[in-house]
Amino acid sequence: MITADEYKLRRERLFEKMENESMAILFSGVGKVASADENLPFEVNRNFYYLTGIDQEDSALILLKGSGEHKAYLFVSPFDPVKEKWYGKRLTEAEAADISGIHNILFSTALASRVEHLLSSGIGDLEPIRRVYLDLDREIKIADDTFTTDYKEQLKKLSNDVLISDIKQMILDLRYVKSEAEIEEYRLAVKYTAQGIRSVMAATKDGVHEYELANLFLKTINDASGYQGLSFPTIMASAAHSTILHYPTPLDTLHQGEVLLMDLGARNQYYCADVSRTVPIGGKFNDLQRKIYTIVLNCNKAVAKFACPGKTIKDLQAFTIEYLSSECVNAGLLVCKEDITKVYFHGVSHHIGLDTHDPHSKDKPLEPGCIISDEPGLYFADLGIGVRIEDDLLITEKGAEVLTQEIIKEVEDIEAFYAHVRR
């Protein structure tokens, strides 16, 4: 469990990166319009959530750094009995303080006046604010018609002298290495994902629709996690659809003798598991499927052994391309190594955390505490066979721990699973 003390520590680490005489303003965000008067489900801004633990729209955080003091203010929605009848209970001031460890709790209706006052009066003993930090990532919507980029222009009108900087990278640098508490939350996301995959595998048979399996996965993980939902929209792709990287329409029917590629994940406290498995719909791989699958599986295991502190995501990609191209030529699946781009066309790894694809540089050396994916694949569209095997790796002092190890992937284990289910 991530405690208020950890959120406080994260803010202190951010204060260390901020300049003196500065203010950071971060927003939880608001729901975006889907169509007409319908909004998309609210998704909290992950950088705001990382610093506060608050998962509620129309909230904001102010961090003030003077030469001799640090202050944090959290702004939440005031009690509104009408809104609560429509949208449910909101956090009380005491609840927000308990979660975040911030004791200066104000109402969001006071944010504008407080910012204006700080810009004009400064911090503490009239120490002026010389720099304001905002998260200027694209499309962070903070009000019905306002994004953080719009808010930047509003602040410029309030104070011509203040410098405005993007704080996004500072926070991402803090998110790069996961704490022990974060890793434990992540292990739970993997546990829920494993339960979901087992239920899908048990229901995989001739005549079932792809969407039935996607729905089953969602129900299983929600039952296990307490309705925390998906890391990302589930990919459930059978036969030729398995060669489409982000197959979007799981409407087809499964047929015996084909393969099913699933790319899916459960989340826990917003930490996102991301797993891919490929299974034979009839319970056994045919010779060609097994040949392709074995190359991908061995590559997956080789990448897990190759990954370690000091390596980069780009290093892992170069290793994967060399491995897959050589093995495909040796197996007679490709004429030359240069043809690998026809059957492998995505990255083998990305960072994972509060976002399924945590936005960290592929050039940055891995450190103990990083969580990354390991997802080689081969996609032979002319054969109607796509195989991807994806595990989640925790980088350790000595190498990498496969967090998703309990989710079976060996050919013998998969075929034995189906033999047991069909008994």
Q: Which two tokens stand for residue 174?
A: 């803090």
Pairwise CA distance, residues 310 & 367, whole Å: 7
Domain boundaries, the chain: 4-175, 180-421
> Can you give the pLDDT at residue 87?
86
Sign of CA dihedral 278, 281, 285, 286: negative
Pairwise CA distance, residues 347 & 373, whole Å: 10
| pLDDT for residue 236 is more than 90 | yes
| pLDDT for residue 122 is more than 90 | no
Phi and psi angles of residue 24, each rounded to the nearest 5 degrees, phi first: -110, 135
The mean pLDDT value for 205-209 works out to: 97
Residues 298-323 pLDDT 10s: 999 999 999 999 999 999 999 999 99
Neighbours of 406 (CB within 10 A): 11
Whole-model pTM: value is 0.96
Q: 21-25, 158-162, 189-193, 300-304 — which is least confidently predicted?
A: 158-162
Q: 48-57, 157-166, 229-238, 389-398 — which is least confidently predicted?
A: 157-166
Give residue for tokens 């309705």.
Answer: 227
> Can you give the pLDDT at residue 267?
98
C-alpha of 336 from chain center? 36
Pairwise CA distance, residues 217 & 228, whole Å: 13
> Can you give the pLDDT at residue 3?
98
What angle is formed at CA 393 by the lines to CA 190 and CA 222, rounded to 5 degrees? 15
239 contacts: CB under 8 Å, gap ≥ 6: 252, 254, 255, 258, 259, 384
Pairwise CA distance, residues 322 & 348, whole Å: 12
Confidence of residue 36 (pLDDT cuts 50, 70, 90): confident
Pairwise CA distance, residues 221 & 219, whole Å: 6
> Can you give the pLDDT at residue 24?
98
333 contacts: CB under 8 Å, gap ≥ 6: 291, 292, 295, 343, 378, 380
Residues 50-79 pLDDT 10s: 999 999 999 999 999 998 889 999 999 998
Residues 262-298 pLDDT 10s: 999 999 999 999 999 999 999 999 999 999 999 999 9
402: part of which helix (H) or strand (E)? strand 400-402
Same fold, 4-175 and 180-421: no
77 within 8 A of 107, measured Cβ to Cβ: yes
> Can you give the pLDDT at residue 123?
85
The mean pLDDT value for 38-52 works out to: 94
Confidence of residue 34 (pLDDT cuts 50, 70, 90): confident
Residues 99-113 pLDDT 10s: 999 999 999 999 999
Q: 11-15, 127-131, 212-216 — which is least confidently predicted?
A: 127-131
Confidence of residue 125 (pLDDT cuts 50, 70, 90): low
| pLDDT for residue 199 is more than 90 | yes
DSSP letter string, 51-114: HH----SS-EEEEEE-SS-EEEEEEEPPP-HHHHHHH-----HHHHHHHH----EEEGGGHHHH
203: part of which helix (H) or strand (E)? helix 180-203
> Can you give the pLDDT at residue 117?
93
Pick the CATH number of 180-421 from 1.10.10.10, 3.90.230.10, 3.30.2130.10, 1.10.760.10: 3.90.230.10
392 within 8 A of 349, measured Cβ to Cβ: no
Mean model confidence pLDDT for the chain:
96
Pick the CATH number of 4-175 from 3.30.110.60, 3.60.130.10, 3.40.50.2300, 3.40.350.10: 3.40.350.10
Q: 152-161, 208-217, 271-280, 327-336 — which is least confidently predicted?
A: 152-161
Alpha helical stretches, state H, 264-339: 287-306, 313-330
Residue 248 CB-density burial (10 A; 0-12 exposed, 13-18 middle, 19+ buried): exposed
